[in-house]
Amino acid sequence: PTGTGKTTFAQALARTCRVPIHIHSLARWQAAGYLNDLLKAMRRAFRDAILDAPSILFVDEIDAFGDRETLEGRNEQYTREVINAFLECLDGVDGREGVVVVGATNLPEKIDKAIVRPGRLGKHVKIPLPDLEARIGILRHHLRDDCVSADLADIASRLEGASGAVIEQVVRDARRKARSRRRPMAFADLLHGLPVRIVQTAEAFHEACIHEAGHAMVGYLLAELSGSLLVESHVCREVGLDGSGGRTVMKQIPGRNLGREAYLAQITILLAGLAAEEFVLGHYADGGGGSEDSDLQQATLVAATMEISLGLGESLVYLSSRRPNDVMARLRNDSLLNQIVAKTLNECFERAKNILAKHTAGLGEIIRLLSERQKISKADIETQLRSI
């Protein structure tokens, strides 16, 4: 995600390896002028890194190159030549021994497959938003010698959903306030710099507990079938920076080939939060949709991908890659596909409600635990189910 420190990672990598780093981007090469000038600048960057070897060549915003599969219009030939030239540089036709190329992007699905295949940029590292421990570390790093004895856990917890860049800005704002008053920075200045958070009403918090309990219960029960294991569920009394009142984390089991039943189980887990709300309250709210990473978006994407890309739907016809943009574009323009996906979602939604109905007592205990602790793990659910 934006602000998680991809450029900082590359710089830290260079310092750790004790080698020089050459930082570039397509935009910087384009600033050299026309296509011929751009290609010269790109090749010069690789040549300079080779002369400086061992070294790291860092290419930021690598999605800017585009994808040859989606090219169209008058810029198609231009973009194709740029990508082909970049591939030549990555392949090191003239040799690039000792030069490690690192790319960074917020949009990996928009990168040409040839760029990220093994032998080029084949090692992929996902840098997620920082967890509590990481947020404390980032705060301490930017604070340096200030607030040395302060307990940063509370501030770090209130920065749930914040990127490293946001956390750095909190410290900068705190220093700015201290400077404006001509005194050393104090712990209270950090509190002043925290982003505004909205305290949920008791009713909204209870609904969030129900929602995440649904995900946790169904996720635990369908873990083996879905190919993913429940890690934890947690809820927040204050709405975080991402606008979410809670989150359930599932971890994919490595080395599994997934069939139709596994994908249907995944959809059922994604819809279990809304199903729990309807089962307990008789209705559900808008927390399951509205954004590109919402439960509804993810469930819809999985259902559509089964039909048009994976051969796990009503036919074996391949109609699209499994890239989210390609799948959603096809779904918007295909009314029949829309109906098939809607049917799948409805069936999985009812399946989630049926599972919850069979484990009403367990669901109630999970809701209670979330309300009291605000976080539960797989072990907590196992304990509750054994005691019922």
Instruction: Assign residue 227 the CATH number of its domain.
Output: 1.20.58.760
CA separation for the pair 32, 273 (Å, rounded) = 52
Question: What is the DSSP track for 308-323?
Answer: HTSS-SS-----S-S-
Assigned domain for 121 exists: no
- Whether residue 36 sits in one domain with residue 163: no
Query: What is the pTM assigned to this prediction?
Result: 0.69
List of long-range contacts for 37-43, beta carbons under 8 Å, 24+ apart: 38/82, 39/81, 39/82, 39/85, 42/82, 42/85, 42/86, 42/89, 43/85, 43/89
Structure-model confidence comparison of residues 8 and 360, the more confident one? 360
pLDDT of residue 195: 72
pLDDT recorded at residue 48: 94
pLDDT tens figures, 94-108? 678 899 999 999 988
Q: Percent of the chain beyond pLDDT 90?
A: 48
Which has the higher per-residue pLDDT, 146 or 266?
266
**Which among 152, 160, 154 has a CA at the least distance from the CA of 136?**
152
3-class state of residue 246 by DSSP: strand
Same domain membership, residue 179 and residue 312: no
- pLDDT tier for residue 253 given thresholds of 50, 70 and 90: confident
Query: What pLDDT is stored for residue 163 in this prediction?
Result: 87
Asked if residue 350 is part of any domain, the answer here is yes
Within 8 A by CB and 6+ apart from 274, the residues are: 211, 214, 284, 288, 295, 296, 349
Q: What integer is the mean pLDDT of 21-41?
A: 92
CA angle 52, 57, 61 (to 5 degrees): 160
- CB-based contacts of 219-223 (< 8 A; 24+ apart in sequence): 219/248, 219/250, 219/269, 219/272, 220/378, 220/381, 220/382, 221/355, 221/359, 222/265, 222/268, 222/269, 222/355
Asked if residues 82 and 59 have their Cβ atoms less than 8 Å apart, the reply is no
How far apart are alpha carbons 218 and 215 in whole angstroms? 6
CB 368 within 8 A of CB 357: no
The residue-averaged pLDDT of 172-191 equals 87
**Does 386 score more than 80 pLDDT?**
no
Residue 123 lies in a domain: no
Per-residue pLDDT of 126-177, as tens digits, reads: 888 888 889 999 998 888 888 877 888 888 877 877 888 889 889 999 888 8
- Asked if the model's pLDDT at residue 369 lies above 70, the reply is yes
345, 377: one domain: yes
* pLDDT over threshold 80, residue 92: no
Residue at 118 is within a domain: no
Q: What is the mean pLDDT of residues 70-90?
A: 86
For residues 177 and 250, membership in a common domain is answered with no
The answer to whether residue 205 scores a pLDDT higher than 80 is: yes
Using the 3D structure, point to which of 154, 170, 195 is the last residue of a domain. 195
Q: By the 8 A CB rule, do 93 and 50 touch? A: no
DSSP code at position 229: E
- CA pair distance 189, 173, nearest whole angstrom: 8
Give me 194's structure tokens: 């925290």
| Structure confidence at residue 241 (pLDDT) | 56
- Structural domain includes residue 117: no
Q: What is the pLDDT of residue 308?
A: 94
Amino acid type, 371: S
Range(s) of the domain holding residue 79: 6-110
Q: Is the pLDDT of residue 36 over 60?
A: yes
Place 87 in a pLDDT band, splitting at 50, 70 and 90: very high
Whether residue 125 is contained in a domain is answered as no
Task: Say which residue, 88 or 241, is predicted with more confidence.
Answer: 88
Whether residues 251 and 380 share a domain: the answer is: yes
On whether both 143 and 98 belong to a single domain, the answer is no
- In this structure, the answer to whether residues 142 and 104 fall within a common structural domain is no
For residue 240, name the pLDDT band (cuts at 50, 70, 90).
Answer: low
What pLDDT was estimated at residue 245? 76
Task: Look up the CATH number of the domain holding residue 92.
Answer: 3.40.50.300
Judgement on whether residues 221 and 362 belong to the same structural domain of the protein: yes
Whether 151 and 266 map to the same domain: the answer is: no
Q: How many angstroms separate the CA atoms of 140 and 278, rounded? A: 43
- The pLDDT of residue 388 is 67
Could you give the number of structural domains in the chain?
3
Write the CATH number for 166.
1.10.8.60
* Residue that finishes a domain, picked among 80, 110, 140: 110
Q: Bigger pLDDT: 180 or 238?
A: 180
pLDDT digit string (tens) for 211-222?
999 999 999 999
d(CA 139, CA 142): 5
User: How many Å separate Cα 84 from the centre of its chain?
Assistant: 29
Same domain, 172 and 248: no
Task: Give me the DSSP letters along 91-130.
Answer: HTTT--TTEEEEE--S-GGGS-TTTTSTTSS---------
> How would DSSP label each residue in 7-44?
HHHHHHHHHHHT--EEEEEHHHHHTT-SHHHHHHHHHH
CB 112 within 8 A of CB 66: yes
Residue that finishes a domain, picked among 159, 176, 195: 195
Residue 293 has pLDDT above 60, yes or no: yes
- 190 vs 284, higher pLDDT: 284
**42 lies in some domain:** yes
Q: Are residues 292 and 242 in the same domain?
A: yes
Residue 276, pLDDT > 60, answer yes
Reported confidence tier of residue 185, pLDDT bands at 50, 70, 90: confident
pLDDT of residue 76: 84
85, two tokens: 């030239």
8 A C-beta contact, residue 360 and residue 388: no
Clarify whether residues 164 and 42 are in a common domain: no
